[in-house]
Structure 1
Amino acid sequence: MRPKPLTGDLLAIYDALHAAFGHQHWWPAKTPFETMVGAILTQNVSWTNAAQAIANLEAAGMLDPDLLAAADTGDIARLIIPSRFYNQKAERIQEFAGIYVAEFQADPAVMAAVETGALRERLLAVRGFGKETVDTILLYACRKPVFVVDAYTRRIFSRYGLLPEKVSYDRTQRLFSDHLPPDVKLFNDYHAQIVRLGKTACRKSPLCDRCPIRRVCGSLRCAAADQMSRYDP
C-alpha cells in the first residue's frame, strides 16, 4: 500500500487517459431528467441496454416526470425490458419521478439548488438508490462536484496500490475528493475515462499492453502489469 496519494499522481493518470482516449462527453443524455432516469436504468446492466430502455420511453412519449409519476408500473416495466430487472426499476422510476415532481417541481435547477450533503441524503433515502446511482445524479444531472465510484475505479486504483483490494465506496471516493480540486468537469470526465479504461484494458483479466497508464511519470506501477511481466519478460 502506497503512502497518502498525491494530487499529482491522480492528475497524471487523468492526463494520460485523456491523451489516449480523448474527452468522453458524458453523460450521454438530452436533459437532466433523462440523466436521472438513465442512472436508475443502468444499475447492474450495460449502458447499451439502458440506452435502449430510454429510447423506448422516449418513443412512447413517457420520458416525462409527471407522466412517469402517474403511470402504472407495469406500463413502465414493459418499456424498459432491455434494462433487466425491469419490474424493480419501474417501481424506482415511478417513485423517484413522484419525488422529483412533488419536492423539486420537476425542475433540475430547484433540485441542484439544494445543499449537496442534504440532497445526497434525501436521494439515498429513495428505495433502491445506492451511492453510485445518487452520485451519478448529483454529478451529471445536478452538476455538483461529487466523484462517482464504480467497480472499475476500485479495480484500477487498487492495482496501482492507491487503495486496498477490498475497499469501501466511501474510502474510494475520498481518494479523489481529498486530493483533487472540486471541479465538476474534471470529475465528470475522470469517471468516464476510468470506465473506458476498465472496459478496454484494465479488465478482470487485464490487457496491460493496451493500458495508457501502465507507466505514468515513472512514479506509479501497476501490480497486475508487474505480475504479468514476470511471466512474459
Structure 2
Amino acid sequence: MKKDYQFIYNILFNHYGPQNWWPAESPFEMMIGAILVQNTNWNNVEKALNNLSEFMHPEEIDQLPIEKLAGLIRPSGFYKLKAKRIKSFLTWFKTYNYDIALVKKVDKHLLRLELLDIHGIGRETADVILLYALDTPIFVVDAYARRIFYRLGFDLPNAYDSFRKQIEKELPEDLTLYNEYHALLVQHAKDHCKANPLCDRCPILDVCERRVSRSV
C-alpha cells in the first residue's frame, strides 16, 4: 500500500470530514488569533478575543494603549509580550492601509518575508496567516504535524522550511487542501495521536509504524 502525504490526507478527510477553519469572524480577527494562540490553547484565545470583540478593527486596536491591550488579552498568556507583537503586526499592516485586498496582491514569497520580519512572527504563525487570512496555499508545520508524520514513519527534515517544502512538493497547489490538512492534523492529534496515543480506533493505524519511543 502506497503511503504518501496525499494518501494520509484522504484518509483523515474521509474520517473527520471538512473542518472549515479558521474559527474567526473576519480575516483580521484570524490574524490576531494566530498571534494569541502562540504557546497556549484555543480556549484561552477565545476568552482573549471575546475581550477584544468591541475593538476588533485594526485602527481601534492600534489606538489602544499597549497596557490596555495587554490587559484585554491576558487570558491568552504571555500577554505583555503578545501585546507588543500585535502592535508590531499592526505597524506592518498599516503600511497597507489595513487593507487585506492590498496585501493579497503582493507576491507570496515577498509577503512571507515581510511577515517574518515582524517582531514575534515566526514561520508557523506567518504560514497560518498566509493560509487562512491571505488565501495562500502553504503547508503549516506545527508540533502536531511533526508528531503524526514521525509516528507514521516518514523521514522528516529538522528544518521548518525543508519539512514544509518536502510536503508541498508532493501535494497539488490547492488552497482548500492545505486549509483542511492543517485542521485535520490538529483534530487527529487531539482525538487519537496525543502525546500518549490512543491507537485502538485510529483511522490511519493500518499504515502507521507507531514510532512512539521518543517524545514528539
TM range (shorter): over 0.9
Which residue in the other structure is 2:139 paired with? 147
User: 1:203 Cα shift?
Assistant: 1.3
1:49 counterpart = 2:44: yes
Rounded Cα–Cα distance in structure 2 between residues aligned with 1:88 and 1:163: 35
**Counterpart for residue 94 of structure 1:** 87
1:188 is aligned, of 174, 179, 184, to: 179
Instruction: State the partner residue of 2:199.
Output: 208
Alignment partner for residue 210 of structure 2, among 204, 211, 223? 223
8 Å Cα contact 1:77/1:86 also seen in 2: yes
- 1:125 is aligned, of 117, 125, 133, to 117
Is 2:74 aligned against 1:81? yes
* Aligned-partner residue type, residue 34 of structure 1: E
Instruction: Flag structure 2 segments of 5+ consecutive residues without an equivalent.
Output: none
Cα separation, 1, equivalents of 2:208 and 2:27: 38
Does structure 1 retain, via aligned residues, the 8 Å contact 2:153–2:211?
no
Q: Which amino acid aligns with 1:173?
A: R
- Which runs of structure 1 show a deviation greater than 3 angstroms over 4 or more consecutive aligned residues? none
Is 2:27 the partner of 1:35?
no
- Cα distance in 2, alignment partners of residues 146 and 124 from structure 1: 15
Please identify the structure whose Cα radius of gyration is greater: 1
Query: Which whole-Å CA distance do the structure 1 matches of 2:25 and 2:120 have between them?
Result: 24
Give me the whole-angstrom Cα distance separating, in 2, the residues matched to 1:115 and 1:188.
19
Between the aligned partners of 2:136 and 2:145, the Cα distance in structure 1 is: 19
Distance 2:42 2:88 in 1: 22
Cross-structure match for 1:107: 99
Q: CA deviation at 1:171?
A: 2.2
Q: Report the alpha carbon displacement of residue 173 of structure 1 after superposing the two structures with TM.
A: 0.7
TM-score calculated relative to the size of structure 1: 0.86
Q: Distance in 1 between matches of 2:102 and 2:138?
A: 18
In structure 1, the gaps of 5 or more residues are: 1-5, 228-233
Asked if the contact 2:137/2:173 (under 8 Å) is kept, the reply is yes
Over the residues paired in the alignment, what is the CA RMSD in angstroms?
Answer: 1.6
2 CA distance for matches of 1:16 and 1:135? 24
Percent pairwise identity: 42
Deviation, structure 1 residue 168: 2.2
Pairwise CA distance, 1:190: 0.5
Conservation of the 8 A alpha-carbon contact between 1:154 and 1:163: no
User: Partner letter of residue 99 of structure 1?
Assistant: W
Q: Is the 8 A contact 1:69 1:95 kept in 2?
A: no
